[in-house]
Amino acid sequence: MDIDDITDGTLRNYVDGEWTPIDGDDGADVVNPATGETLGHVPFTPPGSVADVVSAGDAAFETWRNRAIEDRIQPLFRLKSLLEEHQEDIARVLVTEHGKNLNEARGELRRGIENVEVACGAPRLMQDGFLENAAPEIDEMAVRRPLGTFAAITPFNFPGMIPLWFLPYAVATGNSFVLKPSEQDPLTAQYLFHLIDEAGFPDGVVNLVHGGPDTVNALLENEDLAGASFVGSTPVARHVYETAARTGMRVQAQGGAKNYVVVSDSADLEYAAAKTVSSSFACGGERCLANDIAVVVGDAYEPFVEAVLDVVDDQVVGDGLDPDTDIGALISPGHAERVADLIDAGVEDGNELLRDGRGVTVDGYEEGTFIGPTVFGEVDTDSRIAQEEIFGPVLGIARADDFDEAVRKLNGTDFGNAASLFTARGGEAREFRNRADVGNIGVNVGTAAPMAFFHFGGRKDSFFGDLHAQAEDVVRFYTDETVYIERWPDV
């Protein structure tokens, strides 16, 4: 299917098993960032209509929660097959509305499918404890029970994968689910829901609601909603966490990031450079796991910078659908402007501009929101480009006298999403694991992205809550642990 098959130009919600027109005055155009072409219009669901979506979920929940778990996972097996079958077409839609390159879109969808696979293990993931003779003649067991209807509010940068960090686990554990995807690239979710429709979930179990901040706030203020999962920027994550908690629902909110990579003087510098460039610039740097500040120890600085520039100079900027493209368009003109402003700030703060991606143009794509790979050297880690999330193709390289100073620098931001170390010394790796104050740690790995059978970490201003996305953590988030205590006296 292509875009014309999934929408007639105006997007609809999917509620209670039906494609439903959205009766709202607000909305946004969905634009191909490489060409500037308008792909469709997404109306925003008015706050007053949100309660109906939650009610549809709650009505379906009454039956769904008591279906045998083997029955509940069958639509997920079908969804996995459908996702595999449509992967290439979904990837093209994703590239067209997001800008990243086709291989990155394929990789993202693979990561999403892996979450569906892991959720199919719910019969094992949901099992809990049983203890005979917990007290004289008393047996105790703990049971995980679903809670109702959950919502997930997701960001623009992984429109195919991030909804699947949540959706399959929520429904496999017996809950109903509402997805509110990013209004910047909602077509991928629209496609996903065509497959959900085909996969055979009972009406009302899985729902799609388009919208902007007002729609989100109506969900968070809905007292019937059992909980909300959020992924996006830190200020909104904090707002979601506070608002949902005030309403009294469960909440997990993943925020923004500023990830550092430490390059030890023992590291294989060409390998470290290649992996760092890939981590920084893949998806145009629009990744919460992008390592965009490298802190290099001692004499390794000069050869590392040289190796980085060698790789950077081979990067091709262009339309994500072009197989030669490494770095695609950024999501919007507004975002590209913000990235360019931060590059300006990097220069003003006295950092050394080694490669400048501002003003890059791509022949035939004059309306595209492109920024080329940008590299700063001699970075002051107190400056804005080393402290603020840029979310663009910008890498900063800083010096440290020793490993200890490098680790202190990486821990000196407000964020705690990810960090990597390149080293040949086991002792450094061990110390790094212990001291790096982040949730996802890579050693000789450029991008510390956990597989679906591990949770996705994050702390400090990168995460608000306690149970994370993916795997066992999210199963706990979506279930309440009830304890049964039994004694059977003789009668």
Q: Which two tokens stand for residue 194?
A: 């065509």
Q: How far is the CB of 76 from ligand NAD (least distance, A)?
A: 22
Minimum CB separation of residue 188 from ligand NAD in Å reads 13
Q: Does 449 bind ligand NAD (CB under 6 A)?
A: no
- Report if residue 115 touches ligand NAD, rule: CB under 6 A: no
Question: Smallest distance from the beta carbon of 324 to ligand NAD, in angstroms?
Answer: 27
Q: How many C-beta neighbours within 10 Å does residue 236 have? A: 18
If the CB atoms of residues 211 and 377 are measured against ligand NAD, the closer one turns out to be 211
Q: Is 304 buried (19+), middle (13-18) or exposed (0-12) by CB count in 10 A? A: buried
Q: Which helix (H) or strand (E) holds 204?
A: none
Is residue 120 annotated as a catalytic residue, yes or no? no
Distance between CA 37 and CA 425 in Å, rounded?
51
Site for ligand NAD in 161-180 (CB under 6 A): 180
| Residues whose CB is less than 8 angstroms from the CB of residue 128 and which lie 6 or more positions away in sequence, other chains included | 141, 142, 143, 144, 481
d(CA 166, CA 470): 7
Give the whole-angstrom CA distance, residue 359 versus residue 379.
22
Cα separation, 321 vs 103, in Å, equals 9
Per CB under 6 A, the segment of 17-25, 133-141, 232-240, 354-362 that binds ligand NAD is: 232-240
Q: Is 232 in the site for ligand NAD (CB under 6 A)?
A: yes
Residue 72 binds ligand NAD (CB under 6 A): no
Nearer to ligand NAD, 40 or 377 (CB): 40
Distance between CA atoms of 196 and 254, rounded to whole angstroms?
25
Q: Are 467 and 474 in contact (CB under 8 A)?
A: yes
Catalytic residue among 28, 199, 263, 288: 288
300 binds ligand NAD (CB under 6 A): no
239 binds ligand NAD per the rule CB under 6 A: yes
Give φ, ψ of 381 to 5 degrees. Answer: -75, -5
How is residue 459 annotated by DSSP?
E
**Minimum separation from the CB atom of position 448 to ligand NAD (A):** 12
Question: CA 375, CA 382: separation in Å to the nearest integer?
Answer: 17
Looking at the chain, how many residues does it have? 491
Q: Which of residues 255-294 bind ligand NAD (CB under 6 A)?
A: 255-257, 288
User: Which of these segments, 152-160, 191-199, 265-273, 277-285, binds ligand NAD (CB under 6 A)?
Assistant: 152-160
- Determine, following the binding rule CB under 6 A, whether residue 216 of this chain makes contact with ligand NAD: yes
Residue from 61, 150, 156, 260 touching ligand NAD (CB under 6 A): that is 156
Which of 40, 155, 392, 442 binds ligand NAD (CB under 6 A)? It is 155
CB nearer ligand NAD, residue 183 or residue 428: 183
Among 146, 168, 174, 212, binds ligand NAD (CB under 6 A): 212
From 96, 157, 351, 470, residue interacting with ligand NAD (rule: CB under 6 A)? 157
From 236, 262, 267, 395, residue interacting with ligand NAD (rule: CB under 6 A): 236
Minimum CB separation from ligand NAD for residue 286, in Å?
Answer: 7
- Partners of 141 in the β-ladder: 130, 484
Part of the chain binding ligand NAD (CB under 6 A), chosen from 194-202, 251-259, 352-360, 377-385: 251-259
Residue 397 dihedral angles phi and psi, to the nearest 5° = -120, 125
Chain centroid offset of residue 25 CA = 29
Helix ranges (H only) for 184-250 are: 187-199, 213-220, 234-247
Binding to ligand NAD by residue 213, rule CB under 6 A?
Answer: yes
Q: Which of 42, 153, 206, 305 binds ligand NAD (CB under 6 A)?
A: 153
Burial status of residue 479 (CB atoms within 10 A of its CB: 0-12, 13-18, 19 or more): buried
Binding window for ligand NAD (CB under 6 A); candidates: 61-69, 291-299, 401-409, 454-462:
454-462
How far is it, in rounded angstroms, from Cα 395 to Cα 409?
A: 16
C-alpha to C-alpha distance for 253 and 247, rounded to whole angstroms: 15
β-sheet bridge partners, residue 374: 394
Interface pattern 373-392 for ligand NAD (x via CB under 6 A): ----------------x-x-
Residue 89's Cβ-count burial label (10 Å; 0-12, 13-18, 19+) is middle
Binding of residue 447 to ligand NAD (CB under 6 A): no
Q: Which is nearer to ligand NAD, 16 or 108 (CB)?
A: 108
Measure the CA–CA gap between 281 and 87, rounded to whole angstroms: 23
111 near ligand NAD (CB under 6 A): no
Contact 283, 249 (CB under 8 A): no
For residue 377, what are the β-bridge partners? 352
The distance of closest approach from Cβ of residue 457 to ligand NAD in the complex, given in angstroms and rounded to an integer, is 9
- Kindly write out the interface string for residues 320-359 of this chain, putting x where it contacts ligand NAD by CB under 6 A and - elsewhere: ----------------------------------------
Q: What is the DSSP string of 279-345?
A: HHHGGGG--TT-EEEEEEEGGGHHHHHHHHHHHHTT--BS-TTSTT-SB---S-HHHHHHHHHHHHH
Q: Which of 55, 74, 87, 217 binds ligand NAD (CB under 6 A)?
A: 217
The answer to whether the beta carbons of residues 57 and 224 sit under 8 Å apart is no
CB of 102 to ligand NAD, least distance (A): 20
Active site residues: 288
* Residues found near ligand NAD in the complex (CB under 6 A): 153-158, 180, 182-183, 212-213, 216-217, 231-233, 236, 239, 254-257, 288, 389, 391, 417, 456, 458, 462
